[in-house]
């Protein structure tokens, strides 16, 4: 040991550098705690575009083919369960329906294992992306029913992330989108405005180029220190 070069200088430099780094980290942490992020939120607006409905749950997104959906609902509506205002199968990707006097037909998503995962949007060819690509921005907009139930260990609603990602993709294609949160107590429903004033589906997202857009997920969200 006696023949070794002294480590004093090295230790000195290392401890000084590390000390400064720790001070920076602490300052940064304090600064971060005082930071307020501004979330830019799009406003709902009237439109002549027609809605294409989606359900987002458990990181999956299902496009609702309203023709098939309502054809199935009509055929099931005469069943005993439907007449008694109990849940009945819509025979459409595991969706269950219920006749509601105020909101027309309400539907519930239970089993989502057959639904496409939202990550499929990143694939060049996938059923989800293909159905999104079919939307015509001059005639249609996307309307999402987003499940807000929280899974164990997650900080986000079960459909939130899928909705955000799908919305971003639609925005890059200049397709407007709107949404509403749903769960088993406040189920999704599709009805006509003539039926109830609550039956309104409006886009709240401005379709446009992605360069001028703001992202809302926690990684990319537009952040501005306003303090």
Site residues (CB under 8 A) for other proteins?
1-3, 7-8, 11, 15, 18, 22, 25-26, 29, 32-33, 35-45, 146, 148-150, 154-157, 160, 163-164, 179-183, 185-186, 196-198, 204, 206, 214, 216, 218, 226-227
Q: Kindly state the smallest distance separating residue 134's Cβ from other proteins, in Å.
A: 25
Count the alpha carbons within 13 Å of 69 in the hemisphere toward its beta carbon. 21
Asked whether the beta carbons of 82 and 99 are under 8 A apart, the reply is yes
Give the torsion through C-alpha atoms of 62, 140, 171, 145, to 10 deg: -40
Query: Which residue number, 6 or 113, has a Cβ lying nearer to other proteins?
Result: 6
How many Å apart are CA 5 and CA 164, to the nearest integer?
58
Query: Which residue number, 54 or 160, has a Cβ lying nearer to other proteins?
Result: 160
Query: Which residue number, 52 or 188, has a Cβ lying nearer to other proteins?
Result: 188
Asked whether the beta carbons of 106 and 187 are under 8 A apart, the reply is yes
Q: Kindly state the smallest distance separating residue 61's Cβ from other proteins, in Å.
A: 14
Q: Kindly state the smallest distance separating residue 128's Cβ from other proteins, in Å.
A: 19
3-state class (DSSP) for residue 193: coil
Q: Kindly state the smallest distance separating residue 154's Cβ from other proteins, in Å.
A: 8
b/e 30-49 (16+ beta carbons within 10 angstroms → b):
eeeeeeeeeeeebeeeeeeb
Query: Which residue number, 82 or 190, has a Cβ lying nearer to other proteins?
Result: 190
Query: Which residue number, 33 or 211, has a Cβ lying nearer to other proteins?
Result: 33
**Phi, psi torsion values for 63, nearest 5 degrees:** -85, 130
Tell me which DSSP letter residue 186 carries. S
Q: Kindly state the smallest distance separating residue 114's Cβ from other proteins, in Å.
A: 24
Contacts of 4 (CB under 8 A, 6+ apart): none
Asked whether the beta carbons of 112 and 21 are under 8 A apart, the reply is no
Q: Kindly state the smallest distance separating residue 31's Cβ from other proteins, in Å.
A: 11
Query: Which residue number, 132 or 146, has a Cβ lying nearer to other proteins?
Result: 146
């Amino acid at each position: 040991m006696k023949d070794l070069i002294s480590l004093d200088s090295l230790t000195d430099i290392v401890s000084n550098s590390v000390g400064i780094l720790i001070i920076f980290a602490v300052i940064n942490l304090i600064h971060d705690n005082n930071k307020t992020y501004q979330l830019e939120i799009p406003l709902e607006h009237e439109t002549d575009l027609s809605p294409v409905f989606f359900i987002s749950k458990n990181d999956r997104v299902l496009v609702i083919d309203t023709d098939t959906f309502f054809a199935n609902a009509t055929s099931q509506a005469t069943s005993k369960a439907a007449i008694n205002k109990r849940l009945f199968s819509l025979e459409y990707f595991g969706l269950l329906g219920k006749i509601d006097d105020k909101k027309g037909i309400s539907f519930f998503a239970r089993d989502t294992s057959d639904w496409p995962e939202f990550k499929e949007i990143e694939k060049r060819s996938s059923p989800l992306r293909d159905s999104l690509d079919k939307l015509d921005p001059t005639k249609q907009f996307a309307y999402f029913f987003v499940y807000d139930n929280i899974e164990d260990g997650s900080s986000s609603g079960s459909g939130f992330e899928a909705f955000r990602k799908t919305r971003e993709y639609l925005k890059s294609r200049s397709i407007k989108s709107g949404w509403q949160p749903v769960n088993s107590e406040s189920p999704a429903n599709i009805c006509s405005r003539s039926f109830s004033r609550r039956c309104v589906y409006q886009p709240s997202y401005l379709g446009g180029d992605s360069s001028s857009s703001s992202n809302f997920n926690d990684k990319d969200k537009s952040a501005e220190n306003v303090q």
